Amino acid sequence: MGQSVISVSGLAKRYYLSHEKRQDTLRDSLVQKFRRLTGRTGVESDAEEFWALRDVSFEVAEGDVVGIIGRNGAGKSTLLKVLSRITEPTLGRAVIRGRVASLLEVGTGFHPELSGRENIFLNGAILGMSRAEITRKFDEIVAFAEVERFLDTQVKHYSSGMYVRLAFAVAAHLEPEILIVDEVLAVGDAQFQKKCLGKMQDVARTSGRTILFVSHNTAALQAICRTGLWLQQGRVVQAGPMNECLSAYLGSGTEPAKFTAQSAAKPHLTSASIDQAALARGRLRIQVGFQSPFPLNPPILGIILHSKYGQPISGSNGRMQGDGWAPPPLAAGLVTIELDHLPLHSDTYRITLYLGDGTQDYDEKRDALEFDYVAPHFYPQTPRLDFIGPVDLPWRWSVSAG
C-alpha cells in the first residue's frame, strides 16, 4: 500500500428539491424572475435544500479496495458521481491521482439497434478505452460474455442475461488505475454474478488497482474489500477495516417496518422489526405487532424465512411449539420470535409473516422484512450459495487414517 491516490476533504453536495419542479419550464423561471424584480420573493423560500453529502473527508491509499456502505439515500451514489466528475461538489475538494474509470451502470450507452460487436466498441469508447485497446481485448471480452454466436445480432434481440453479460464484460476489461463501481453486481443470473465477483476479486488482488465499490451484497463486500466507508445521511459515520465497518453498520438497526391495514375490521399485522444487534451476534430476534377488532384465541403468528431468491428455507408458527404453548386471547399485542443460533451463511434473506387464530389466516405480509446477514465466522472459501444452499448446519468433522 502506497501513497494516497484519492484525498477527499470537506466534500459536500447540495441539491434543490423543489427547484427543479418549479423551474423546469421557462414560464416558471420568468415568473420567478419577475417576482424577484417586484420584490415578491415568496417563491425562493420554497426551494428546499437537500444535502446529499456533507463534510465528507477520507483518504484512499494506492491499491486499496474500498467498500462504501450505507442505506438507500445515504449519499453513496452521489459520492461516486462527484468522484467520477459527472457532477461537481458544492463545497470542499477531492484530489485524484491517476486515471479513473467509473462504472455506475452496466451497459451505459448501449444502443439496441447496433450489433453486439458494434456495441463493444461504442461502450468501450464511452468507458474511456481507446480503439486500439478495445481491438486488443476484443476476443477476451467476447469470451467472457459468452456471446460468440450472437456477435452480429442486434442487441435488441438479446435476452436480458446476454445483454448484461456483454455489458459487464466490456467494463471488466477496463484498465484504469482507479476503478469506481456502483451497485452493478446486482444484475444477471447467480452464476454470472459469481463470475463477475470473481473477476472483481482478481482485479482487486492481482493488479494492485485502487477500487471504490458500492454494494448491498455483504458477502461480496467481505470478499473483495479491505477497507470500508460507512455513509449515513451524507456523512461519514465510520471508515476503517471492512469487517468492523460492516458489523457496525449492520448492527446500527433499521427502522421497524410499519404496515397499514387494508381494513380495521379484520385482524391485521401492524409492525415488524428485527434486532440488528442480536443479528450481528448470530442470533435472530424479531418482534411483530398485531391488532384485531376481536380477541384472537389464541393469537397465532406464522413466519417463513426465504432466501433472497424467494425460496422458503424454514417456516414455523406458535402452535408448532407443542401442546404446552397457550397464550391468552388478545386483541392487540407484540409477538417475539427468537432463534439463539441462526444457521445461515452470509447473504440477504427475507421474512414473510402470517397472522391467524388457529382456524384461519387473517393477514399475510410477503417479504415483510429483509435483512443482510453476516455470519460471525466468514470463510472466504465458501462455495457459492446457489450450489451449497443457504443453510449452515453445525456439521462435525473428523478424519482418521484408514
Partner 1 sequence: MEKPATPELVLEAGRASRHYWADLWRYRELLGFLAWRDIKVRYKQTTLGVLWALIQPAVTLAVFTFIFGKLAGMPAGHVPYPLLVLCGLLPWQLFAAAFSNASGSLVANTHLISKIYFPRLIVPLSSVAVALIDFGVVLVLLTTLCVWWQFMPDWRVLLLPLFVVLTLLTAIGTGLWLTALTVKYRDFRFVVPFLLQVGLFLSPVGFSSTNLPNWRFIYSLNPMVGAIDGFRWCLLHGEPALDPVNLGVSVAMSALLLVSGLWYFRRTERTFADII
Which spans of this chain sit near partner 1 (rule: CB under 8 A)? 5, 15, 20, 23-27, 29, 81-100, 102, 104-105, 108-109, 111, 113-114, 118, 121-122, 125-128, 130-131, 177
Show the cell assigned to 269. 399485522
Closest contact distance (angstroms) between CB of 111 and partner 1 is 6
Closest contact distance (angstroms) between CB of 364 and partner 1 is 39
Given the complex with partner 1, which of 100 and 239 has the nearer CB atom? 100
Residue in 241, 239, 244, 246 with CA at minimum distance from that of residue 220:
246
Closest contact distance (angstroms) between CB of 187 and partner 1 is 15
Angle of helix 116-126 relative to helix 131-145, nearest 10 degrees, comes to: 130
The residues with which 13 forms a beta bridge, in sequence order, are 53
Query: Rounded to an integer, what distance in angstroms lies between the CA atom of residue 98 and that of residue 114?
Result: 32
Closest contact distance (angstroms) between CB of 252 and partner 1 is 29
Given the complex with partner 1, which of 121 and 378 has the nearer CB atom? 121
Given the complex with partner 1, which of 211 and 355 has the nearer CB atom? 211
Query: Rounded to an integer, what distance in angstroms lies between the CA atom of residue 227 and that of residue 240?
Result: 5
At 269, which helix (H) or strand (E)?
Answer: strand 268-274
Closest contact distance (angstroms) between CB of 48 and partner 1 is 15
Closest contact distance (angstroms) between CB of 204 and partner 1 is 19
Q: What single letter denotes the amino acid at residue 192? A: F
Closest contact distance (angstroms) between CB of 88 and partner 1 is 5
Given the complex with partner 1, which of 24 and 48 has the nearer CB atom? 24
At 355, which helix (H) or strand (E)?
Answer: strand 347-356
Given the complex with partner 1, which of 92 and 327 has the nearer CB atom? 92
Closest contact distance (angstroms) between CB of 243 and partner 1 is 30
Coil, strand, or helix at residue 277?
Answer: helix
At 7, which helix (H) or strand (E)?
Answer: strand 4-16
Alpha carbon separation from 87 to 75, 82, 84 (Å, rounded)? 13, 5, 8
Given the complex with partner 1, which of 40 and 111 has the nearer CB atom? 111
Closest contact distance (angstroms) between CB of 52 and partner 1 is 10
Given the complex with partner 1, which of 104 and 237 has the nearer CB atom? 104
CB 347 within 8 A of CB 385: yes
The residue to which cell 469508447 is assigned:
125
Given the complex with partner 1, which of 131 and 341 has the nearer CB atom? 131
Coil, strand, or helix at residue 106?
Answer: coil
Closest contact distance (angstroms) between CB of 30 and partner 1 is 10
| Residue 243 CB coordination number (10 Å) | 15
Query: Rounded to an integer, what distance in angstroms lies between the CA atom of residue 10 and that of residue 55?
Result: 4
The residue to which cell 451502470 is assigned:
105
Given the complex with partner 1, which of 126 and 278 has the nearer CB atom? 126
Given the complex with partner 1, which of 14 and 235 has the nearer CB atom? 14
Coil, strand, or helix at residue 218?
Answer: helix
User: What phi and psi values does residue 368 have, to the nearest 5 degrees?
Assistant: -60, -35
DSSP-derived secondary structure for 372-393: EE--SS--TTPPPHHHH-SB--
